[in-house]
Structure 1
Amino acid sequence: MLATFTRGTLLAALALSLSSTSILAQDWQSELPAFRVGLLGGENEADRLRKNECMVEQLEEVLGIPVELYPASDYAGVMQGMLAGQLDFGVLGASAYAGIYLQDANAVEPVFTSLEADGSDGYFALMYARSDSGIESLEDMEGHSLAFADPNSASGYLIPKAELEMAGIDIESYFSSTGFGGGHEQATVAVLNGQYDAGVTWSSGVGDPAKGYSRGNLTSMVQKGLLDMADLNIIWKSNLIPNGPWVIRQAVPQEVKDIVADWMENLPETDRECYIEISQGDGQGFKRVGHEFYENIVAMRRAELEGSR
């Protein structure tokens, strides 16, 4: 007869399986009295905290120490927290990781990236405009305003800017104006409210377009009732961007790294709903990655920084 496992029994089994690596847990627990998780900006704080409640509960169970969430107003807040050693764990966009690496290569290390519903390990930047605007293509955007999401976002700034420039578009002269919306969700709301003519955001690019695809900012906004995809036209799509990494502070004790990695690797099976919440949509789980997965993004970020000097 096949055994039936609840989330609780699976978590208990996971904690038991990790006990051999944490017999001396009291040693690292004195080093790390709390496990601090940074939450990127991009949607409102209440939603970010709600979606990550399951992470707090489950990591506290397997680590045996308090887990604290720190929602930042923008990407830079999490980046600075990681660089200052004030945060231990979190998910970053590819460009935000590159920004940390270029300031301190020893601050954090990538652990996992997310796999999309089709098994791919990348996503897309999408440019969107209101469906009643008459803007149906990138060519129609000439002389109109564009909202980037965040200066440290790959899909919300770095990649669209780089790809448009490679296509021969001068950002300053092609658009009537550009600005930052303060995050992916905020920028989308600004376009819907007519503050900008178009914006850019991140999306898996797979799944049902009417649902905002399978994962990403548009997916989250549709699920929360903030967006009807019929109100937007997708007018441009980037090349594939490597999904951002879940990173952990390099100085965190190895026992903690092992426990957190095992928890994440098993999460799609132990608690599918929690996995979907913290991943901002559905997919095929997590894939282990290292720094080499992001070397091209680091090179792009370095070139962007050098070009702005």
Structure 2
Amino acid sequence: MRRIAACLALLIALASPAWASWRDDIGTLRVGFIAGDNPAYEVARLEKFRWRLQYALAVPVELFPARTYDALIEAQATGRVQYTVLSSLAYIALDQRCDCAEPLVQPTTADHARGFRALLVAKSDGPLATLADARNMRLAVGAKDSLSGRRAAFAGLAKEGIDPPGYFLRIVETPDSEAALGELAAGEADLATAWSSAPDPLSAAIGSGPFARLASDGVLSPSTLRVVWQSELIPFGPHVVRKDLPEMAKSNLLQALIEMQQTAPEAYDAIERGYPGGFVAADPTLYRRLAEFLNVAKRKD
């Protein structure tokens, strides 16, 4: 019955002259997201999210599955989609390409954290307590394109005047922060990249970073580590809309998204199941700071 009532409300809204103008300008809202190698499955999985946006705006909503962030950036920059779900790095790349989009909301953790801090950690019973102590030591890092596992840490080291290949005895390559910490636990590295969204960076709280799983597996206890360096807050990836989207559409979307975890939890879980804290209005300052930290210059027209 609630679904029928929602359909009737949508039809009434579409027929209302007072609501028609900006909705006519939109036509159909196209929402882009990363779909991986099985776009048909992902489109079906996100149906409740799509429907909730359609109900909130009272305009047709279509999902635009993409295989890569480059494809999403291209689609939003050229206006093929008006709304995208991006990583922080992808949003910065979009903002660098064109001044055409803005972050609308960002997801949060169960503790309502808006992001995480990248870390460099060492064993607390070892000699390494500062970055100065790390010269000629072995550093374990995550994948080359990983913000939490490598890029943030390397940006932090660069700000300290440290060139990692020349400063460290060896860069130990691993797939991610968990694997990097595993190398530290095994004695194959003296320092490792990690990340945490908890107020206590070495917290083993589930969902706040890689320490919980390693601690539960008995691989590495956070109590045996010390933080040698940590970044400022790095925001989670935003939901982004084009700036030329009508203001009423942005307002309706913002309200629907912020309320979604409470009013339509299945829709929220479909799109952000890894972030149980719900949406909050995005803080553009956090993304500008991240861009500056990573030394990404905004394109000058």
SS of the aligned residue for 1:205 comes to coil
C-alpha contact 2:31 2:82 (8 A) present in aligned 1:
yes
Q: 1:47 to 1:121 in 2, by over 3 A?
A: farther
C-alpha contact 1:39 1:71 (8 A) present in aligned 2:
yes
SS of the aligned residue for 1:70 comes to strand
The answer for the alignment partner of 2:80 in structure 1 is 86
The letter of the residue matching 2:76 is M
C-alpha contact 2:181 2:194 (8 A) present in aligned 1:
no
The letter of the residue matching 2:207 is G
Q: Deviations over 1:68-92 (max 9, x none)?
A: 142434x434333322333322233
The answer for the alignment partner of 2:60 in structure 1 is 65
C-alpha contact 1:98 1:294 (8 A) present in aligned 2:
yes
Tell me, yes or no, if structure 1 residue 123 matches structure 2 residue 120: no
Per the TM alignment, residue 100 of structure 1 is displaced from its structure 2 partner at its CA by: 1.9
C-alpha contact 1:128 1:232 (8 A) present in aligned 2:
no
Q: Provide the rounded CA distance (Å) in 2 between the counterparts of 1:266 and 1:204.
A: 23
The answer for the alignment partner of 1:22 in structure 2 is 19
Report how many residues are paired.
Answer: 275
C-alpha contact 1:40 1:91 (8 A) present in aligned 2:
no
Among all aligned residue pairs of Structure 1 and Structure 2, give the percentage whose two residues are the same amino acid.
22
Tell me, yes or no, if structure 1 residue 244 matches structure 2 residue 237: yes
Alignment of 1:255-294 (within 5 A): 255-279=248-272, 280-283=274-277, 285-289=278-282, 291-294=284-287
Q: Provide the rounded CA distance (Å) in 1 between the counterparts of 2:238 and 2:262.
A: 20
Per the TM alignment, residue 247 of structure 1 is displaced from its structure 2 partner at its CA by: 1.0
Q: 1:294 to 1:211 in 2, by over 3 A?
A: closer
Bigger-Rg structure (1/2): 2
Q: Deviations over 1:267-309 (max 9, x none)?
A: 02112343244332211x33223534433223234x3569xxx
Alignment of 1:73-222 (within 5 A): 73=68, 75-105=69-99, 107-126=100-119, 142-148=137-143, 150=145, 153=147, 155-167=148-160, 169-173=162-166, 174=168, 176-177=170-171, 187=176, 203-205=196-198, 209=204, 211-213=206-208
Identify unmatched segments of 5+ residues in structure 1.
1-5, 182-186
The letter of the residue matching 1:97 is Y
Q: TM-score, normalised by structure 1?
A: 0.64
C-alpha contact 2:106 2:279 (8 A) present in aligned 1:
yes
Q: Provide the rounded CA distance (Å) in 2 between the counterparts of 1:245 and 1:16.
A: 30
Q: Deviations over 1:126-173 (max 9, x none)?
A: 5689x9xx9x9995993354223626x4x3544222223334542223
Q: TM-score, normalised by structure 2?
A: 0.65
Per the TM alignment, residue 110 of structure 1 is displaced from its structure 2 partner at its CA by: 1.5
The letter of the residue matching 2:83 is F
RMSD: 4.9
Q: Provide the rounded CA distance (Å) in 2 between the counterparts of 1:123 and 1:300.
A: 14
Per the TM alignment, residue 37 of structure 1 is displaced from its structure 2 partner at its CA by: 1.8
Q: 1:189 to 1:289 in 2, by over 3 A?
A: closer
Identify unmatched segments of 5+ residues in structure 2.
none
